[in-house]
Amino acid sequence: MSRKIRFSTHWDITNILLIYNNLPNAQFIRNYQIKPCDGKYKAIQFNKIDGILDRTSFMGQYKFSTDGLPLNPCGRTGITGRGVLGRWGPNHAADPIVTRWKIDNSGSRCLNKTTGRPILQFVSIRRKDSGQWAIPGGMVDAGENYTSTLKREFSEEALNSTTASPKELEAIVKRVDDAFHHGVEVSIGPKKRIV
């Protein structure tokens, strides 16, 4: 019998059921060359820049288990280990959520026939590695800022920039830059909740 674990449960309380997930699934391991937990994490410089990797958290300094592994600063989840994340500690990612109201040929918003409310459309992609639908985006490369990651990932995943000719690539870059300069920014964050 399992029970729910509240995020507010203090890390010192140990008599609770934990689901161990130290090994990512086999497909993820193949796609991202992730190695299982082998003890080498002890050499990682947590809570600071580790070589070219940013291992700091927007939530401040994070704590560690008795094994020396980083603990989720939000509290317990019932899962231990890295799971399917590529790195121990913070995994900085940028995922642009691009939306628009569906409009008809006259430029009027289309309404849902049942609710009468406007229909919101969003950009999604089908992942090449898993075939699953997702929001475009990805990991922030070492030394890269978030805006560059958003533009790069959106161009690669939603607009196929990796297979574009030089002329097509120029048009893609212009369209993405225009969207970033003339689009309406609703929210960038909340950065303080990014782990």
Q: Is the pLDDT of residue 12 over 80?
A: no
CA distance linking residue 84 with residue 52, whole number of Å: 21
Q: Is the pLDDT of residue 130 over 70?
A: yes
Q: Is the pLDDT of residue 23 over 50?
A: no
Residue 99 belongs to domain with CATH number: 3.90.79.10
**Is residue 34 located within the same domain as residue 114?**
no
Q: Is the pLDDT of residue 195 over 60?
A: no
Please say whether the beta carbons of 59 and 190 come within 8 A.
no
Percentage helix, strand, coil for the chain under 3-state DSSP, each rounded to 5: 25, 15, 60
**Is residue 81 located within the same domain as residue 138?**
no
Among the three residues 56, 91, 126, which one is the final residue of a domain in this structure? Answer: 91
Task: Tell me the residue range of the domain where 8 lies.
Answer: 1-91
At residue 20, the pLDDT reads: 43
Domains of the chain: total: 2
Q: What percent of the chain has pLDDT over 70?
A: 71
CA distance linking residue 141 with residue 92, whole number of Å: 9
**Is residue 37 located within the same domain as residue 104?**
no
**Is residue 151 located within the same domain as residue 72?**
no
The pTM of the whole model exceeds 0.75: no
Query: What is the arithmetic mean of pLDDT over 111-138?
Result: 93
Half-sphere exposure of 172 (CA within 13 A, CB side): 19
**Is residue 83 located within the same domain as residue 54?**
yes
The top-scoring range by mean pLDDT among 1-10, 11-20, 50-59, 125-134 is 125-134
Q: How confident is the model at residue 21 (pLDDT cuts 50, 70, 90)?
A: very low
Q: Token match 């958290």: residue?
A: 57
Among the three residues 91, 109, 136, which one is the final residue of a domain in this structure? Answer: 91
Length of the chain: 195
**Is residue 15 located within the same domain as residue 27?**
yes
**Is residue 2 located within the same domain as residue 64?**
yes
